[in-house]
Amino acid sequence: MNCCIESAFEPQGYELTFCNIQHQDAKGHFLSRLVLNQRVDGIIANISVLSEDLSRELDRLAFPYVSIGEIDIAVSWVDYDNEAGGRMLTIHLKSGKAIASRHLLAVKGTRESSAAG
């Protein structure tokens, strides 16, 4: 998904930067470091990071952002089809073109986990 986002932005002169976000004190919070200091032009945030309070603050600042995954607040969001993606990956791996082994491992979270879909 990340390479698709990057390939859409590149012709428009944008670079895609990945940043691990930790909700720290106000000084270290990414709003201060990246948004208020104008180091980025927009945010693509996973639902595990985008809270209702953060969404309200970004709206107040009129700062563009999109959520990866649907959330309960009024915000623009995108998602992907995990089931179809898993099916495509499995077919590719089982075809023998990617690897010689027939033993596959799926790593996932619990149903309650934001990483599981």
The 10s digit of each residue's pLDDT in 70-110 is 877 777 888 777 788 778 877 877 776 655 556 666 666 66
Q: Look up the pTM and report it.
A: 0.59
Report the C-alpha gap between 80 and 78 in whole angstroms: 7
Instruction: State whether 56 and 87 are in the same domain.
Output: no
| 70 token code pair | 């649907």
For the chain, how many structural domains are there in total? 2
Domain that holds residue 88: 82-117
Q: List residues bridging with 44 in a β-sheet.
A: 66
Higher pLDDT, 20 or 50: 50
Say yes or no: 109 and 57 in one domain: no
Kindly state whether residues 72 and 87 are assigned to the same domain. Answer: no
Residues 66, 111 within the same domain: no
Indicate whether 88 and 43 sit together in one domain: no
User: Where residue 116 falls among pLDDT bands split at 50, 70, 90?
Assistant: very low
Convert the pLDDT of each residue in 1-40 to its tens digit.
566 777 777 888 877 777 766 655 665 577 777 788 788 8
Tell me: do 70 and 100 sit in the same domain: no
Domain shared by 74 and 99, yes or no: no
Contact 109, 115 (CB under 8 A): yes
User: What are the backbone angles phi and psi of residue 13, rounded to the nearest 5°?
Assistant: 85, 15
> Do 8 and 50 share a structural domain?
yes
Q: Are residues 101 and 55 in the same domain?
A: no
> Based on the domain organization, do 56 and 33 belong to the same domain?
yes
Same domain, 44 and 87: no
